[in-house]
Chains A and B, each alone.
Chain A
């Protein structure tokens, strides 16, 4: 995951993940990374990044969820509309739902898949992966309670101090949150690699799996 962040992520995200994984690296590299990031943040943060960092600080202070920020700043992705159409299609079909039927219904709802570019479809795939990860967290009561009640920074340190263990609930949550961050990065940068990395690690339900198939099919035609 760090490799993908190194390639596509914001410096702040790379630094954050690197810090979480620092016990895997040698001390010189950790110190050098911290020094470089200090230089970067002190000298080179662009105005846009400064605003994002400031808003992010304010959000932490006022405990507003970050999703609200993203909804405000970015155009709404049609992923939720696609999901609704697929849900309705499944509800009204007695047999297995075909991609063709889904496409017809999506068109009937005023969303023409042919209007979307390759880049937009890559964004939608990353966005869908984010939606699935969120749902995976909220479907699991233990994970959801932990997510709502804990300071992620603390459990992240906890998790990595005790060495990463995928059976540990803290590590499981941190892994999913990091995967979410990666797909958000892919959404912003329009990168397919991030989605392809996450694809085998997410667990889509029937509706989400159909949406992924539909988007992948559309992408293969571009």
Chain B
């Protein structure tokens, strides 16, 4: 199979699952009093949950790229909206 054909395969990354796991990892860290997590720590914790991003590296498809890019843009947009709402509520 050519590289182009491989890249056009269906998305492999389950973003819903990834989001849920990051949420769980964050809650566990907060419960331990840890407020800042480095990306390496998140990736390590994801690996322990069976979500090994190292194994997926370079195997992801164009569909994954589009999904990740959309997710980043949507997350930035939703966070900006939430922050603006909370600033408006506090009348700053």
Interface residues in chain A, defined as those with a beta carbon under 8 Å from any beta carbon in chain B? 2-3, 5-7, 11, 14-15, 17-18, 21, 24-25, 27-29, 31-40, 42-44
Contacts and interface: CB of A to CB of B under 8 A. Distances in A.
Contact of B76 (A14, A35, A40, A44): A14
A34 B42 contact: yes
Interface string B48-92: 000001000110100011001101111111111111001100000
Given A14-B73, A42-B57, A44-B60, A35 B79 contact: no
The interface residues of chain B, by DSSP majority, are classed as helix
A79 B42 CA distance: 47
Contacts of A15: 72
A2 B82 CA distance: 12
B39 interface: yes
B79 A25 contact: yes
Nearest to B13: A39
Given A29-B75, A35-B39, A11 B23 contact: no
A18 B76 contact: yes
B76 A5 contact: yes
Contact of B19 (A5, A32, A43): A32
B73 A44 contact: no
A43 B58 contact: yes
A40 B72 contact: yes
A11 B80 contact: no
Nearest to A38: B39
Nearest to A39: B68
A18 B79 contact: yes
Contacts of B18: 32, 35-36
A2 B73 contact: no
A31 B75 CA distance: 11
Contact of B80 (A3, A28, A35, A36): A3
B57 to A, nearest CB: 6
Contacts of A37: 72
A36 B39 contact: no
Contacts of B26: 27-28, 31
A14 B75 CA distance: 10
27 contacts: A2-B77, A3-B76, A3-B77, A3-B81, A5-B76, A6-B73, A6-B77, A7-B77, A11-B69, A21-B83, A25-B82, A25-B83, A27-B30, A28-B26, A28-B27, A31-B26, A31-B42, A32-B22, A35-B18, A37-B72, A38-B39, A39-B13, A39-B68, A40-B68, A42-B57, A43-B65, A44-B65
B57 A43 contact: yes
A7 to B, nearest CB: 7
Contacts of A6: 73-74, 76-77, 80
B84 to A, nearest CB: 8
